[in-house]
Amino acid sequence: ALTTETERKIRMVQLRTVSKREKILFPVVLLLLVALLLPDAAPLLGMFCFGNLMRESGVVERLSDTVQNGLINIVTIFLGLSVGAKLVADKFLQPQTLGILLLGVVAFGIGTAAGVLMAKLLNLCSKNKINPLIGSAGVSAVPMAARVSNKVGLASDPQNFLLMHAMGPNVAGGIGSAIAAGVMLKYVLAM
């Protein structure tokens, strides 16, 4: 509803190739900055950076493969079981909890809409046009938000592949959410 058919058909310029050095330096520099500026978010982003470094370095191929496939599935199952075991209906179905869920849905919608509108605003002053669907991927739902942006783009133009363009803002949204969680932890623990 926020984009026109013409905007959804905007083809973006091919991305440059990222060097191996950049791929290895990114998680290291990110973790150092977060550890120095916001130590409360360091454990959460540290795991993200560690996994990224393992995959990109290519030095620990077996460990990287295990972490990306088997281990992540096992951890997801245990996380779901442990949260589900603590989730009792009389505790969950309270107005406060449902209000938090509603706030999350509203925040997600506002974040998606703001990303689309920001991309449209950038198109007014940018030489290389940005497909506004890229803005909708700037939320922390990695990688589904990027896939949805790509799917909507493909529906308008079957040759317009936006997935790799959308992954940048998508991962940035995940990193931003982890940093925001660190800021919130800092203030909550200070109380």
Same-domain check for residues 83 and 101: no
Q: Within a domain: residue 135?
A: yes
Point out the domain boundary residue: 67, 87, 107.
Answer: 87
Beta-carbon contacts of residue 120 (< 8 Å; ≥ 6 apart): 2, 3, 7, 132, 135
Beta-carbon contacts of residue 3 (< 8 Å; ≥ 6 apart): 116, 120, 132, 133
Same-domain check for residues 53 and 110: no
Same-domain check for residues 110 and 174: yes
- Round to whole Å and give the CA distance between 112 and 104: 12
- Extract the tokens encoding 142: 């990695």
Percent residues over pLDDT 70 in the chain? 100
Same-domain check for residues 79 and 120: no
The tally of domains found in the chain comes to 2
Q: What are the pLDDT digits (tens) for 17-59?
A: 999 999 999 999 999 999 999 888 899 899 999 999 999 999 9
Q: Within a domain: residue 3?
A: no
Same-domain check for residues 78 and 117: no
Task: Note whether 27 and 49 are within 8 A (CB).
Answer: yes
Domain that residue 58 falls in: 18-87
What pLDDT, on a 0 to 100 scale, did the predictor assign at position 111? 92
- Round to whole Å and give the CA distance between 9 and 89: 46
Same-domain check for residues 109 and 189: yes
- Round to whole Å and give the CA distance between 143 and 81: 23
Q: What are the pLDDT digits (tens) for 63-103?
A: 999 998 999 999 999 999 998 888 888 877 888 988 999 99
Same-domain check for residues 105 and 72: no
Q: Within a domain: residue 5?
A: no
Q: Within a domain: residue 2?
A: no
Same-domain check for residues 105 and 174: yes
Same-domain check for residues 69 and 143: no
**Considering the entire predicted model, what is its pTM?**
0.81
Lowest mean pLDDT among 53-57, 130-134, 185-189: 185-189
Same-domain check for residues 179 and 107: yes
Q: Is the pLDDT of residue 187 over 90?
A: no
